[in-house]
């Protein structure tokens, strides 16, 4: 993205300040175009409440900087035919969703639409993992040479130090990620933004309009481990060295299973996807299914042992959500992960535990039904949402 362009603050939070009204209006107009495209200038003025002259100035700036384009024209009974505005879909972002054994690499547009994606199985040799990822990125860029890439967004299964711009805590990943950012930048020349997947998904919730940016929320990513992203007072809460929100490594059982962080009985050892697979083996006396997605499909096909395993996992998730609700009192908790594909079966059990003896009131709990798409779309927020940081 050219250095002359202004960053966006993709939240509807309005801050009264003599220094920021132009930026607030600019953000508002861009968000309206993004969520309601195609849309005319007249409709932007009507919906936003801004003067038409203000809308015209902002729109011309956005067109000049190539954020938006003029598209088709509309029809009216009389008068000038309106020209509709839409996002510039030639601008794109490379999105990475990293897991311990594989990485999904995708091309997304500014609206979060996934244009293309590839799954990269990571080599058993840890030293070769980052090279495989870089090669996959370069191929996608080559395959979409007609697009202008604004940057690379990486959803990490761990924490990144926001000052050093490198991963510092990823207990479930066995290969070194420390040099990944610099390797990608050298290979592509693109700006690279890394963030914990739960933090990235929290930004995505605000960016894509599922949350209004006004209320405090917590995103819980349930995967091989458990990560939480906290959005409060219009921004992410990061804490010292970016380590805020590691609820997955709060001890829940003093004599529990060993955790990748070095502790025992952490929340993720009893409520993550790995825990669900372990429960199935313990209950059924059979080997673990090959993946958590397979376990979910087994439960949806009425496999008794799979249902019992996921019910036990749901109970433990609910326990952890109660902990988050008591500690942070958010307005809502959003859960991201494969468990959401069977929400009709297990969501009520998670909610029941969360609401049990809730004090003073349990937050709203809702799933993100986008699955891995939520993790990939969050890359747009990472690359474009500098104003939220």
Q: What is the CATH number of the domain that holds 173?
A: 3.30.420.40
**β partners of residue 178:** none
The closest alpha carbon to 152, from 87, 216, 108, 204, belongs to 108
User: What does the pLDDT average to over 150-165?
Assistant: 76
Is 83 found in the same domain as 218? no
Domain boundary among 202, 235, 259: 202
Between CA 99 and CA 81 the distance in angstroms is 50
Whole-model pTM: value is: 0.77
Question: Dihedral sign, CA of 192, 196, 202, 208?
Answer: positive
Q: pLDDT tens-digit profile of 97-122?
A: 888 888 999 999 888 889 999 999 98
**CA 201 to mean position of chain CA atoms:** 2
| The last residue of a domain, from among 34, 58, 87 | 87
> What does the DSSP 8-state code read for residue 61?
H
Assigned domain for 341 exists: yes
Cis peptide before 120 (omega within 30 of 0): no
Establish if 249 belongs to a structural domain: yes
- Specify whether 74 is located in the same domain as 30: yes
Task: Report the pLDDT value the prediction gives residue 288, as an integer from 0 to 100.
Answer: 97
229 with 333, same domain: the answer is yes
Strand partners, 116: 107
Higher pLDDT, 378 or 209: 378
Answer whether 271's CB lies under 8 Å from 319's CB.
yes
Indicate whether 349 belongs to any domain.
yes
Residues 121 and 219 in one domain: no
Q: Is residue 388 part of a domain?
A: no
Q: Is residue 269 part of a domain?
A: yes
Is 218 found in the same domain as 363?
yes
Q: Break the chain down into helix, strand, coil percent, rounded to 5.
A: 45, 20, 35
Q: How many domains does the chain have?
A: 3
Task: Please check whether residues 134 and 251 belong to one and the same domain.
Answer: no
Is pLDDT at 209 greater than 70 in this prediction? Answer: no
- Rounded to 10 deg, the angle between the 372-384 and 197-207 helix axes is 80
Query: Is there a domain that residue 373 lies in?
Result: no
Higher pLDDT, 189 or 381: 189
> What pLDDT sits at residue 387?
33
On whether residue 4 sits in a domain, the answer given is: no
Q: How far is it, in rounded angstroms, from Cα 18 to Cα 348? A: 47
Q: Supply the pLDDT for residue 274.
A: 96
- For residue range 229-247, what is the model confidence (pLDDT) as tens digits? 998 887 788 877 677 888 9
Residue 257 CB: number of other CB atoms within 10 A? 14
Band the pLDDT of 186: cuts 50, 70, 90.
very high
Which CATH number goes with the domain that contains 68? 1.10.10.10
How sure is the predictor about 28, in pLDDT bands with cuts at 50, 70 and 90?
confident
The Cα 87–Cα 85 span in angstroms is 7
2-11, 158-167, 242-251, 370-379 — most confident range: 242-251
pLDDT tens for 254-277 read 999 999 889 999 999 999 999 999
**Are residues 127 and 236 located together in one domain of the fold?**
no
Residue where a domain terminates, one of 52, 67, 87: 87
Task: State the Cα–Cα distance between residues 70 and 63, nearest whole angstrom.
Answer: 8
Q: Are residues 311 and 163 in the same domain?
A: no
Is 237 found in the same domain as 177?
A: no
**132 and 240: one domain?**
no
Structural domain span for residue 306: 211-367
User: Are both 362 and 286 inside the same structural domain?
Assistant: yes
**Residue 259 domain flag:** yes
Q: What is the CA radius of gyration of the chain?
A: 22
Which of the four pLDDT bands, split at 50, 70 and 90, describes residue 389? very low
Q: Encoding tokens for residue 157?
A: 């299964």
**Does one domain contain both 220 and 361?**
yes
């Amino acid at each position: 993205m050219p250095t002359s362009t202004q960053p966006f603050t993709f939240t509807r939070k309005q801050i009264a300040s003599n220094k920021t009204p132009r930026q607030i209006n600019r953000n508002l107009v861009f968000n309206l175009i993004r969520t309601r495209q195609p849309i005319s200038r007249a409709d932007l003025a009507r919906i936003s409440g801004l003067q038409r002259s203000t809308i015209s100035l902002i729109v011309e700036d956005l067109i000049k900087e190539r954020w938006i384009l003029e598209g088709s024209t509309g029809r009216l009974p009389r008068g000038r035919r309106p020209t509709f505005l839409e996002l510039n879909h030639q601008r794109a972002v490379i999105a990475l969703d990293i897991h311990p054994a594989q990485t999904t690499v995708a091309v997304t547009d500014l609206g979060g639409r996934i244009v293309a994606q590839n799954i990269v199985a990571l080599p058993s040799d840890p030293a070769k993992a980052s090279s495989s990822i870089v090669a996959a990125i370069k191929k996608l860029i080559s395959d979409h040479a007609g697009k202008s890439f604004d940057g690379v967004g990486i959803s990490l299964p761990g924490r990144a130090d926001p000052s050093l711009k490198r991963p510092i805590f990823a207990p479930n990943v066995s290969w070194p990620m420390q040099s990944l950012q610099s390797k990608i930048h050298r290979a592509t020349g693109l700006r690279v933004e890394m963030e914990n997947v739960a933090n990235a998904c929290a930004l995505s919730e605000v960016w894509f309009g599922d949350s209004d940016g006004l209320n405090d929320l917590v995103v819980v990513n349930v995967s091989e481990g458990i990560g939480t992203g906290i959005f409060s007072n219009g921004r992410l809460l990061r804490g010292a060295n970016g380590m805020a929100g590691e609820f997955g490594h709060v001890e829940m059982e003093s004599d529990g299973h060993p955790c990748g962080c070095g502790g025992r009985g952490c929340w993720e050892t009893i409520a993550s996807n790995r825990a669900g697979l372990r429960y199935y083996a313990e209950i059924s006396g059979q080997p673990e299914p090959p993946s958590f997605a397979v376990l979910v499909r087994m439960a949806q096909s009425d496999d008794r042992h799979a249902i019992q395993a996921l019910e036990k996992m749901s109970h433990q998730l609910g326990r952890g959500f109660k902990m988050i609700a008591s500690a942070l009192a958010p307005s809502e908790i959003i859960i991201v992960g494969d468990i959401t594909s069977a929400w009709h079966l297990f969501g009520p059990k998670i909610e029941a535990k969360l609401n049990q003896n809730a004090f003073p009131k349990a937050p709203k709990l809702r799933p993100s039904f986008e699955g891995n798409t939520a993790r990939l779309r969050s890359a747009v927020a990472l690359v474009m949402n500098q104003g939220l940081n």
